[in-house]
Amino acid sequence: MQTLTLIRPDDMHLHLRDGDALRAVLPFTARQMGRAVIMPNLKPPVVSVADALAYQQRIQAALPAGSRFQPLMTLYLTDKTTPALVREAKAAGIVAFKLYPAGATTNSDSGVTDLFKLLPVLQEMAAQQLLFLVHGEVTDPEIDIFDREAVFIERILQPVLAQVPDLKVVFEHITTAEAAQLVMAAGNNVAASVTPQHLLLNRNDLLVGGIRPHHYCLPVLKRENHRRALVAAVTGDKAHKFFLGTDSAPHAQHAKENACGCAGMFSAHAAIELYAEIFERAGALDKLEAFASKNGARFYGLPENSDTITLLKQPQTIMSSIAYGHEKLVPMRAGETVAWTVRYDN
């Protein structure tokens, strides 16, 4: 049987929610990841250092006994964020601020309305070497939803990088050839996280044969040429600029299967297995460890994890649903198979 041993990976973009939902989904990530960058879009959002440290304590309290998993905390950027808060965050061990353009995705109502008014804050982030995590979409209603990432690059990201050239930016969950090209052409201060869904699926998987609500995420799935461009980027000559970030986002089944279903896909149950399938299909299994375990740690200035995990080339059938507090959630690939399985000792 084929086996693949990797330095334990990190998930550099993860949603854990809170309360019963947190307790339901955290064990999946804690079992296979060493660390995860925790997104701050709770209700209410994580906007202060006190908020982040309290949330970190709740995550740690929900960990399975003996877990060595480490949550890396972020703050939610708002129109009211100040340079003083950036300095406070740095001193407290916060790793980044997250940009949600107002109205762009789940729980983004408190997001930024005009990023250019926050240039002093971004300059302080650069000075403090705090990372700037970007949900890269414009929200103008006249812009087609499939074009919002490309327009964001032109209107916002490129001008910001020109005005704050030392800002360390993660272009999160990129979905387009334009985003991949920007990251590859930019300096070493720009990198990107890439999700399993945007490497595996295109918009046909969302729309053909009827709308599939469990494939609805934001940024939305794009054309096949964009999916192929992302696979080429994470396996190509500039692959060191891309890393694992699942954007795993749990939602109750009834909230997805709804007249106005919410955006997000839950992939934490089989994250590294899904990525292994992607890299195997691309003939690049030898590049999976760097993507999953090295590139993100290096960009965040962290040591690589000291232990390993082992994958077996052994198909597994994904459960049809997962208990989610008093509700259920439907995971990515529910009821179907994944080609790889992590070998756990317990």
Q: Give yes or no for a contact between 292 and 305, defined as CB atoms under 8 angstroms apart.
A: no
Of 30 and 108, the one with more pLDDT: 30
Of 26 and 103, the one with more pLDDT: 26
* Overall pTM > 0.85: yes
pLDDT reading at 46 higher than 80: yes
For residue 224, what pLDDT is reported? 98
Instruction: List, for residues 177-230, the tens digit of each pLDDT value.
Output: 999 999 999 999 999 999 999 999 999 999 999 999 999 999 999 999 999 999
% pLDDT > 90, the chain:
93
Domain boundaries, the chain: 9-307
For residue 104, what pLDDT is reported? 64
Ligand-binding annotation for 214, yes or no, is: no
For residue 344, what pLDDT is reported? 87
Q: pLDDT class for 346, splitting at 50, 70, 90?
A: low
For residue 111, what pLDDT is reported? 85
Q: How many CB atoms lie within 10 A of CB 249?
A: 27
Ligand-binding annotation for 218, yes or no, is: yes
pLDDT reading at 107 higher than 80: no
Of 217 and 107, the one with more pLDDT: 217
Largest CA distance in the chain: 56
CA distance 121 to 87: 10
Mean pLDDT of 94-119: 86
Instruction: List, for residues 61-106, the tens digit of each pLDDT value.
Output: 999 999 999 999 999 999 999 999 999 999 999 999 999 988 666 6
Instruction: List, for residues 228-242, the tens digit of each pLDDT value.
Output: 999 999 999 999 999
Ligand-binding annotation for 269, yes or no, is: no
Ligand-binding annotation for 287, yes or no, is: no
- Determine the CATH number of domain 9-307: 3.20.20.140
pLDDT reading at 1 higher than 80: no
Catalytic residues: 247
Taking alpha carbons only, the member of 234, 319, 335, 238 closest to residue 281 is 234
CA distance 8 to 15: 19
Taking alpha carbons only, the member of 17, 8, 173 closest to residue 104 is 173
Instruction: List, for residues 304-336, the tens digit of each pLDDT value.
Output: 999 999 999 999 999 999 999 899 999 999 999
